[in-house]
């Protein structure tokens, strides 16, 4: 009953894990990067579950450049120079009742993995992915493999095969516009998102779209080389995306596809909310202001005629 009342899944734990993983990859950070990390993480730490908080606490406890504010918020302390081991306080052991809790069944795991994301969450994931760097995008796609977010349904095999044939022909002709048009129709994406996926300089969104269509590795390499000759002439570009494509799972691509579709709903709601917000209130107000006529039909008194007297 609790799951049925939820519109989607809370992605704040996933966002906190991604932010932490990206932050600890670098040995040092600028003042702006540290300030942004503190602002985002401070809000998320208080809003996530205990398991996520413990995982983030363990990662930051051994990271030497963890900001002092986050250390205090997580109950950690700075390690002394003479102590190479972590100085994090021990995590209390769970109660005996919690240890004896049964493991979730396969049905419960499938239910947890089928929770759809809210439009605002989908838009946040999509924006974060497009704004990320190459290494950050690879980390995001890796984390999407284990997320409980609901993935988009697979494209039917017949429809995917037809789309792949058309996409290869458009790539050979260097026709980016028709390529984006066919991609949007095959993946049920608006033209704006499809064009953004195709024209992205990094190429990771295109890899997700091709994996969602189950394009073979050889066909993906041909598309990379012919669709945009300027980028396809770079050996590093083709080799990097080919390696990413080989490691990219179908689930990660379909979760990202669901995020792209959901982000369009958030944009549509924001676009029409200002004009539709008070429509119902105005209609009720207008209806109440119209007073009923004092004389109802059929109730008017008869007019006497002087000639007939009736």
Report the alpha-carbon distance of residue 180 to residue 271 in Å, rounded. Answer: 24
pLDDT digits (tens, 9 = 90+) for 72-93: 888 876 655 455 444 445 556 5
Helices of type H across the chain? 12-24, 31-45, 50-61, 68-74, 96-99, 106-112, 119-131, 134-144, 157-172, 176-187, 191-199, 204-212, 217-227, 229-232, 235-247, 250-276, 279-289
Query: When comparing pLDDT for 222 and 59, which is higher?
Result: 222
Query: When comparing pLDDT for 246 and 306, which is higher?
Result: 246
pLDDT digits (tens, 9 = 90+) for 103-157: 655 544 444 444 557 778 888 888 999 999 999 999 999 988 888 888 899 999 9
pLDDT tops 60 at residue 238 = yes
Give pTM, 2 decimals.
Answer: 0.53
pLDDT band at 100 (very low <50, low <70, confident <90, very high): very low
Q: Give residue 91's pLDDT.
A: 54
Q: Give residue 92's pLDDT.
A: 60
Report the alpha-carbon distance of residue 37 to residue 96 in Å, rounded. Answer: 36
pLDDT digits (tens, 9 = 90+) for 165-195: 999 999 999 999 999 999 999 999 999 999 9
Place of tokens 């102590």: 83
Query: When comparing pLDDT for 41 and 197, which is higher?
Result: 197
pLDDT tops 80 at residue 264 = no
The answer to whether 40 and 19 are in contact (CB under 8 A) is: yes
What is the CB neighbour count within 10 angstroms for residue 261? 19
Q: Give residue 6's pLDDT.
A: 54
- The residue ranges of every structural domain in the chain are 8-79, 117-269
């Amino acid at each position: 009953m609790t799951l049925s009342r939820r519109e989607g899944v809370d992605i704040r734990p996933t966002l906190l894990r991604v932010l932490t993983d990206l932050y600890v990859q670098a040995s040092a950070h600028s003042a702006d990067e540290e300030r942004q990390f503190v602002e985002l993480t401070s809000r998320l730490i208080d809003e996530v579950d205990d398991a996520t908080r413990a995982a983030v606490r363990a990662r930051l406890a051994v990271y030497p450049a963890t900001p002092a504010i986050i250390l205090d918020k997580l109950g950690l302390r700075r390690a002394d120079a003479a102590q190479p081991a972590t100085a994090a306080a021990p995590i209390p052991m769970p109660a005996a009742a919690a240890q004896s809790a049964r493991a979730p069944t396969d049905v419960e795991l499938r239910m947890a993995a089928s929770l759809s994301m809210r439009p605002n969450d989908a838009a946040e994931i999509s924006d974060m992915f497009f704004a990320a760097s190459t290494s950050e995008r690879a980390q995001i796609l890796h984390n999407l493999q284990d997320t409980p977010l609901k993935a988009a349904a697979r494209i039917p095999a017949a429809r995917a095969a037809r789309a792949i044939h058309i996409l290869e022909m458009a790539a050979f002709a260097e026709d980016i516009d028709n390529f984006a048009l066919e991609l949007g129709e095959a993946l049920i994406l608006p033209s704006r998102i499809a064009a953004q996926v195709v024209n992205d300089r990094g190429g990771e969104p295109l890899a997700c779209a091709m994996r969602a269509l189950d394009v073979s590795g050889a066909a993906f390499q041909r598309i990379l080389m012919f669709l945009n000759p300027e980028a396809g002439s770079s050996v590093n570009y083709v080799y990097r995306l080919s390696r990413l494509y080989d490691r990219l799972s179908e689930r990660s691509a379909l979760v990202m596809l669901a995020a792209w579709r959901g982000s369009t709903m958030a944009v549509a709601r924001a676009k029409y909310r200002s004009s539709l917000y008070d429509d119902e209130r105005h209609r009720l107000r207008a209806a109440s202001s119209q007073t009923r006529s004092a004389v109802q039909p059929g109730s008017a008194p008869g007019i006497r005629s002087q000639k007939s007297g009736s």
